[in-house]
Structure 1
Amino acid sequence: MSSNVLKPGPRNLITDIAGISVGNATDEKVQTGVTVLRCAHSFVAAVDVRGGAPGTRETDVLASENLVGRADAIVLTGGSVFGLAAADGAASALSVDGVGLKLSDKGPAIPIVPAAVLHDLGNDGDKEWGEAPPYRALGTKAARNASAEFDLGATGAGRGAMAGVEKGGLGSASLVLEGGVVVGALVAANPVGSVYMADGETFHAWAYEIGGEFGGKNPPTLHELPEPFPDYSRLHFRAQAGANTTIAVIATNADLTNVETKRVAMMAHDGIARAVRPAHTAFDGDIVFAVATAEKELPADPQPMRHGLVARIGAAASDCLTRAIARAVYEANR
């Protein structure tokens, strides 16, 4: 691959990758929501969990040593432990559509729908839902809403999110690499750390911005290393383990194996560290999923070349996630 300047896809969304669609469902009364990424068919998938208190569903099934290693959809949701029910709703919707494993002539299709949750239970929304949390219904609705176009900011899984002391949100970004390989990121940004520099206006991600996608604010001149716990993080105000997280999906149209897809997910975590300061604290439950649609074939040999191309995709995924986090907060606070 050459050193040409890279550009986003036509939408600058993860849906620039053919076969990927995204749907949001938001409950304004509860101030929460669900985002579902749907796959046109079962795509190779992997996950890398770095959080100290993650909330997940069906992540083990994506491990390379296990049977499936693929996903029909991925759910990002608010609601902490209650939000996991969103995957039930999404799975039911997909099964009705005939999506999923058919192990015999009897019984419904069995969709593989991994999920990750963020904690948004402390906002001002009405959480007096008793024995009927809204997340299953929201998961069904988000799965039904999936399309190539979707909103960013305070919507879907990003509705109740916070980024430091500012509103968090839902973000996305894409890059088109040489040879038609496309990489994209989708994120619900709810970190305890700050996405802003000391001026409270410039994103840590400013150097990765393309075309003013999150405001075009250049950084102030810095003559010394800034405070490691920025004023705009929540670490100056409160620190509650497991109450914050950044959950994301990376996608590419390259024909990656399950192991290679896992490597891309691992590399993409660097994008969180670029966009948030501090990142990956004990108070964050950071999770990155990755899917590969296999539309674009990478050379199998020589192996060093293939490994290099996978590293290129992982680096682009990291850059996309950095940009997507800044876009999430920018759009939520406009």
Structure 2
Amino acid sequence: MLPLPRPGRRNLITDVAGLRVGHADDSNAGTGVTTLLCDDFFNAGVDVRGGGPGVRETETLAAENLVGRAHAIVLSGGSVFGLGAADGVVAGLSVRGVGLHLKPGSPAIPIVPAAVLHDLANPGDKDWGLEPPYRRLGLASLDAAEQDFALGSAGAGRGAMAGLIKGGVGSASIDLGDGLIVAALVVANPVGSVLMPDGKTFWAWPFEIDGEFGGGRPDPSVSAIAPVPDEARLASLGRLQAGAATTIGAVATTADLSTAECKRVAMMAHDGLARAVRPAHMPFDGDTLFSLATGACALGHDDDRPTRLAAIGSAAADCVARAIARGVYEALKQA
């Protein structure tokens, strides 16, 4: 039997060389920002499956449009206010000279897509008036970007909830050999549950590697058929409204994918969200996944390329499921 693929050295999205992640928190407001920084202008795609998304620059990544690449991806709390975090990242990158240079002497124009989650009803002082903290937090998260970063209640996961329990930032990677690495970074704030009906086993348990989110396994008598969501319970959370809950994130690979292929990987990666959260992709959710490809690993352009692309998408879905469970698991340990 062939050996199973293993996580990368860090078991983080930064196992894909050329990526760094930075967090910035506002403990008073109970919110934060996470920035995924690219060392180059990487091909990118995005797929939005939730019925109430909060996004920025997603059409810039459409395969039929001009750019289809990104300098950074911003994930933020704060609902619509959190979209301002990308303003800080754009300004910080432009000052560094990172971005499109359309005319000599004009400012660099960074491409920074973003997605937000709704944490406004969670603990923290959101009475910020005309000065939401997100632009400042975006700039701080850019300055904090490193290869190693915290999981759980950090950055955009600072105010996240997963149903009735704490949500947070998670990440996971898989090394498929010959330089091909696939990884995910996710912020879990779903209204759906990450736990099976027993209330203790993660839905994602079949995909766990080396006890990365506690090693829990369901009793064989526990059914995988979850109860119909209790509308009264959801209403009590204040999350039965568009955009009130979401899981946002990004997957990345070292493969030399086109923008259209990045889109396909993002679409497949959503399967991992559905494996780890039940129910998912509801009208209230803003579920959004970006996809990045660094191009370091050549897939070739023979008849087998679609098969290799499918393997990358499948691995991305597994990484998303693992990352969601890791984020919640780490957040619960910190609670």
Distance 1:95 1:261, change over 3 A: same
Distance 1:306 1:107, change over 3 A: same
Deviations 1:123-180 (A, max 9, x none): 1200111100000000000011001000000110011111010010000000000322
CA distance in 2, matches of 1:91, 1:3: 45
Match of residue 195 from structure 2: 196
Deviations 1:255-311 (A, max 9, x none): 00111110000000000000001111111110000000000011111x2x1000000
Asked whether 1:256 is paired with 2:271, we answer no
Counterpart AA for 2:72: A
Instruction: Give the secondary-structure state (helix, strand or coil) at the position aligned to 1:179.
Output: coil
Number of residue pairs matched?
Answer: 331
CA distance in 2, matches of 1:329, 1:250: 18
Q: Report sequence identity in percent.
A: 61
Asked whether 1:241 is paired with 2:242, we answer yes
Counterpart AA for 1:47: V
Name stretches of at least 5 consecutive residues in structure 1 with no aligned partner.
none
Query: TM-score, normalised to structure 2's length?
Result: 0.96
CA distance in 2, matches of 1:228, 1:180: 43
CA distance in 2, matches of 1:129, 1:215: 38
Distance 1:213 1:236, change over 3 A: farther
Match of residue 333 from structure 1: 332
Instruction: Give the secondary-structure state (helix, strand or coil) at the position aligned to 2:267.
Output: helix
Instruction: Give the secondary-structure state (helix, strand or coil) at the position aligned to 1:259.
Output: helix
Match of residue 283 from structure 2: 282
Deviation at residue 227 of structure 1 after TM alignment:
3.1
Instruction: Give the secondary-structure state (helix, strand or coil) at the position aligned to 2:206.
Output: helix
Query: TM-score, normalised to structure 1's length?
Result: 0.96
Deviation at residue 107 of structure 1 after TM alignment:
1.4
1:229–1:236 CA contact under 8 A, matched in 2: no
Deviation at residue 230 of structure 1 after TM alignment:
5.9
CA distance in 1, matches of 2:130, 2:98: 29
Match of residue 271 from structure 1: 272
Distance 1:153 1:299, change over 3 A: same
1:192–1:244 CA contact under 8 A, matched in 2: yes
Instruction: Give the secondary-structure state (helix, strand or coil) at the position aligned to 2:291.
Output: strand
Two-structure CA RMSD over aligned residues (Å): 1.6
Instruction: Give the secondary-structure state (helix, strand or coil) at the position aligned to 2:74.
Output: strand
Deviation at residue 3 of structure 1 after TM alignment:
5.0
CA distance in 2, matches of 1:3, 1:40: 34
Extract structure 1 runs of 4+ deviating beyond 6 A.
Answer: none
Match of residue 213 from structure 1: 212
Match of residue 35 from structure 1: 34
